[in-house]
Structure 1
Amino acid sequence: MAPRDDRPDASSYAGSSLQSFNLPVAPSQVDVVVIGGGFSGVQAAWDLQKAGLSCVLLEAKHRIGGRSRSQQLQSGPGVIELGATWINKKTQPKVYATAKRLGLDMVEQYTESDEVWQLPDGQVIRASPDNPAAEQVIEFNRALYEVIESGCENNDIRKFDEFPTNFDVSVETWAQSKGLSDVLGKASMTFFTGAVVGQDASEVGMHYFLDYIKSGGGFISIATEGADGAQSLKIKQGTSAIANGLADEMKPGSIFVNSPVDSIHQTNEGALVQTATGNKFSCRKVIVAIPTNTYEKIHFSPPLPRDKMALVSRTKPGIYAKMILTYSRAWWKDLGLQGKFSSFKGPICFSWDNSDETLQQYSLAIFLAGSIAAKWATLKELQRVEAVVEHLTELVGPEHGHLAHEDILEVNYVNWSEEEYLDGAPTSAMPPGVLSKYGLALRRPFKHIHFAGGETAYEWKGYLEGALRAGSRAADEVIEWAKQEGLVKKVSAHL
């Protein structure tokens, strides 16, 4: 049983020949340099090349895909998701259309049977219709929904400076003012903020949190599965196949991995971008498509504007880890469970079934978030696995708990807070007052630099859909400039 697996992702499942990754001599002059090979950066570079602009994509890590990490199992057939997992046909049209065009196979998330919840006092409840104790779970979910939806009603995700200053306190303080002040209320709010942005309720500003929830269609959309939920469809080949598929359609040799950017020096005519490997690119425009909290790894000359620096310095990466336990059989289904275990106590915060019945691959995807994930990360390697498996045993119960640690074929995990050049997942968060005061600087271009990345999306920020939209938005800004300069005559329609 291997505690983790650092092999490359399952790019071969996207039909990728990896020809885009061959590294020829770097061109000294291009129209645009895109920094960051996550979904947003790949989409931006794809759009620019389709518009007829010369463009290179620089990725610091050894692979593209950002916070998506699809990996082939060693113990048998099947692809697991150590990062981004789901898309939605109805509410996320851009990523769905892209996956469809690339010929990827999509299946619905398994949602049949009962869930299991653990309350702050350690009590384990099977949320089945005939269990009276499940009413507690229903009640706190209802209270959480009502409080958050009421806050979203008057929040405009495109007008950051109109949010009432007196309401822009921490999520924890705001929730207490709305009646979620008992132990269960506090725990449920921290559980939800951790699940959504990877930070505890005391660390996140209410304006930012409401903006994030509304950008994803509201509480029900963010928290559920099915036709209207964010956890709707899985991609059999893995979400990384989307990024790899777009890369395969780009000009060979235009993507450079293992190329972290050291500096961006802007001049009147454009910019000079230099990597840690010594490559230099002279360009007219730059698109920065990396997490906001990682801008500090790049030396900007001249320095970023004051409001942009304030935003960057105050943005916090989400604290997140994801572990996939792969078994010889889906024992949770045998017990009438759907594989959805949620706990206010931890280390497991929540989980979903990540199986592929057609390949006889049976996996549970387990998430750890916020301060719970931070505490878990202090453990040694094998202790991390042990802590998760032992907690799963507790959640299953004394009669069947042994199934959680029997017949484990493979263990894989990523602690995203330890991932270099990302530093966290699934997104970043802002404390009180930051979005209202500095939000306009989030997407605003700075001279020849434009900004993408999933956090800069208006809709679905922090999700694959938002990342693709943000990449296209930044590309559109550059393409509009190129049209005015006479560099391109017409632009192909986006997907």
Structure 2
Amino acid sequence: MTEEEIVDVIVVGAGISGLYAAYRLKQKAPELKILVLEAKDRVGGRTLTAALKICHDGNETDQFDLGGQWVTDTQENITPLLNELQLETYAQYHTGKSLAELHRHVQKYSLPMPYISLLSFLESVYSVFRLESLASNVPTWNPMMTRNADYLDQHTFADLMKPWIRNAAKPLMTAAIRTVFGCEPEQLNALFALTYAQAGGGFMRLTLTDPGCAQEKKIKGGSQQISQLLVERIGKEQVLLGTPVQKIVQNDDDTVLVTTTQNQTTFQCRKLILAIPPSQIIPIQFEPMLPGYKREMFKHMPIGSYLKFIFIFDKAFWREDGLSGEVISDGSFAPFGLSIGPMTYLIDGTSSNGTPALIGFIGGQCASVWTSVTYEERRKGLTECLSRYFGGHKISTHLIEYVEKDWNLEPYSGGCPCHNVTTGSMKDFVDGLRKPYKNIHFAGTETASQWMGYMDGAVDAGRRAASEVLVSLRDNNQLKDDDIDLYTFENQNRKYQHFRVPRSKFYYAIPIVIVTIAALAKVLFPKILQ
């Protein structure tokens, strides 16, 4: 590609969303010249698969995901793509009892949520279904059409929980927020949290491994293969790595100039798709400047604080002990004199080849504290956690490798798992994230209306941006194509602008039924809830 050669479309960002947009453009209009610019030295965005040591001599390795990894068959965008790319999935292991570390006490449980006491359990159940009821009334395309949207937008998720959660359920809910959003409830816009949950089918679906839930399946060989295979289909010569974008100029003649930091190289195109995280758009210079509603939206979307770690073993000893490997923790055990412990969430990470592993996350305040200590201190702190859960002798006897990925240090990402929204900022959500600006179109999982923050959302957003470009480049004599036209911002905005999800009375009855059943079960069959 020579300097200032004109192409039809430039896609900035070689994560799943950007690469799928380029792939769809090539499918629907193979005559278009497409170029993908990626700032990193690799493709995949917030997916990253690595070959890790699985034996003590280091001669054998297996593939593990250090970034996003889970999918479910109910995700209507990523599932067909995996089939098309011939990528197979396998079920997340979740047989046996789970563990909860709350208030410095470790306890086993078999229900979808821990049973600490009857009061806290009933409070947790009621709180979850109240949240599900609120989320069910949020239109994910335009959350400001929600009843009481202004009130929800002005308050945090912690404010939302205060009237319902007063006992032992609070640490559980806090741990869940750290795991899903990578932040604290006090930092999270209540309306955004409900929107995010609704986009994935509800809070419970975001936290469980059951069929249809967010952690149902993993991809054999790792999720980064999605991006790598898309590159092969687009053409490797059309994807330039190590090419950060510095400046974007939209000219009066409808051409777009894209200047990169690499030798100040300039590319020209007719249409541009920005498929990078909101926080990474801010440093780019725009001429003319982006509209104020977009600048303000991007500035008020901090990314979560997240670290992912993997313990690889020579034996899945937790399975032999009747445990699933899942642990939820409020960080109440705080070694080394720190204010909070490292553990947020742990789950069985055994590979598709059967290599035993436990993977986990340090999120929110836990990540803020524990990314400030050394690697060795972090490893020691997490090892102490695993020793409390499964026995120190088993950990020391069977441990092969410990690997971590601090996403806060990842160039051109700056965090994980998703961008959140501060209070008072949702009024610009639709236009700020999704609306095209002249010849610039916007993709990325944060702009999705389904499963935002997930790989499925990345595909959804990439398809919308590609559809907008295809429609804008269409000749007047070309017929409309519903497979394209229905997914543009203009059509979706027109369809859902005034759409309001009906208020459901059914959800208010569920807590009463669950509470009654749980109370009776505890009295009649106490061992079931242990």
TM-score normalised by the chain length of structure 1: 0.89
Cα distance change of structure 1 residues 444 and 493 upon mapping to structure 2, 3 Å threshold: closer
Cα shift at 1:307: 0.7
Post-superposition Cα deviations, 1:81-119, rounded to whole Å, max 9, x if no partner, equal: 111111111x11221111122222211111100100011
Give, as a single letter, the amino acid of the residue that structure 2 aligns with 1:276. Answer: T
Whole-angstrom CA distance in 1 between matches of 2:122 and 2:367: 26
Structure 2 residue aligned with 1:166: 151
Contact kept in structure 1, 2:42 and 2:241, CA below 8 Å: yes
Q: Report the CA distance between 1:371 and its aligned residue.
A: 0.8
- Map of 1:207-356 to 2, 5 A cutoff? 207-268=191-252, 269-278=254-263, 279-345=265-331, 346-356=341-351
TM-aligned CA distance change 1:245 to 1:136, over 3 Å = farther
Matched, 1:434 2:413: no
Counterpart in 2 of 1:92? 75
The answer for the alignment partner of 1:107 in structure 2 is 90
Cα separation, partners in 2 of 1:447 and 1:34, compared to 1, 3 Å? same
Q: Is the 8 A contact 1:39 1:66 kept in 2?
A: yes
1:392 lines up with 2:386 in the alignment: yes
The C-alpha deviation readout for 1:343-398, integer Å capped at 9, x for no partner, is 01141111111113x634111111111111111100012111111111121233xx
CA distance in 2, matches of 1:329, 1:451: 46
Of 455, 463, 467, which residue of structure 2 is paired with 1:472?
A: 463
Which one-letter code corresponds to 2:99 in the other structure?
V
Instruction: Tell me the CA shift for residue 166 of structure 1.
Output: 2.0
Structure 1 stretches of at least 4 aligned residues deviating more than 4 Å after TM superposition: 24-27, 131-138, 488-495
Do the aligned partners of residues 35 and 339 (structure 1) sit closer, same or farther apart at CA in structure 2, a change above 3 Å counting?
Answer: same
Instruction: Give the secondary structure class of the aligned counterpart of 2:47.
Output: coil
**Does the Cα contact within 8 Å between 1:78 and 1:361 map onto a contact in 2?**
yes
* Residue equivalent to 1:29: 6
In structure 2, the partner of 1:123 is 105
Partner residue, 1:147: 130
* Aligned partner letter, 1:274: T
Give the secondary structure class of the aligned counterpart of 1:404.
helix
Q: Give percent identity, aligned residues only.
A: 29
- AA at the equivalent of 2:342: P
Q: Is the 8 A contact 1:116 1:124 kept in 2?
A: yes
RMSD: 2.2
Report deviation, 1:137.
Answer: 7.2
Q: Which blocks of at least 5 consecutive residues in structure 2 are unaligned?
A: 55-59, 332-340, 488-530
Helix, strand or coil at the partner of 1:196: helix
Q: 1:461 to 1:140 in 2, by over 3 A?
A: same
Q: SS of the residue aligned with 1:249?
A: helix
Distance in 1 between residues matched to 2:306 and 2:209, nearest whole Å = 20
Greater shift after overlay, 380-389 or 419-428? 380-389
Query: Which blocks of at least 5 consecutive residues in structure 1 are unaligned?
Result: 1-23
> 1:134, CA displacement in angstroms?
7.1
Q: Residues 105, 153 of structure 1: CA spacing in aligned structure 2 closer, same or farther, 3 A cutoff?
A: closer
Higher mean displacement: 449-458 or 402-411:
402-411
**What displacement does 1:489 show?**
7.9
Q: Please report how far the alpha carbon of residue 65 of structure 1 lies from its aligned counterpart in structure 2 after TM superposition.
A: 0.6
Within the candidate set 407, 420, 438, 1:416 is matched to: 407
Distance 1:409 1:481 in 2: 54
Matched with 1:3 is: none
Q: What one-letter code is carried by the residue in structure 2 that aligns with 1:148?
A: L
- Match in the other structure for 2:371: 377
* Pair 1:55-2:50 in alignment: no
Residue matched to 2:178: 194
Note if contact 1:172-1:186 (Cα within 8 Å) is conserved in structure 2: no
Does structure 2 retain, via aligned residues, the 8 Å contact 1:172–1:189? Answer: no
In the TM superposition, residue 208 of structure 1 has moved relative to its aligned partner by 0.4
Q: Determine the C-alpha separation between the residues in 1 that align with 2:123 and 2:92.
A: 24
d(CA) in 2 for partners of 1:211, 1:112: 31
2:20–2:459 contact (8 Å) kept in structure 1 = yes
Aligned to 2:353: 359
Deviation at residue 139 of structure 1 after TM alignment: 3.9
Q: Distance in 1 between matches of 2:236 and 2:387?
A: 49
Q: Is the 8 A contact 2:142 2:429 kept in 1?
A: no
Name the TM-score, length of structure 2 as normaliser. 0.83
What is the aligned residue count? 462
Partner of 2:48: 69
CA contact (8 A) 1:114 1:337 kept: yes
Which secondary structure does the structure 2 equivalent of 1:297 belong to? Answer: coil
Deviation at 1:176, TM superposition (A): 0.3
Structure number with greater Rg is 2
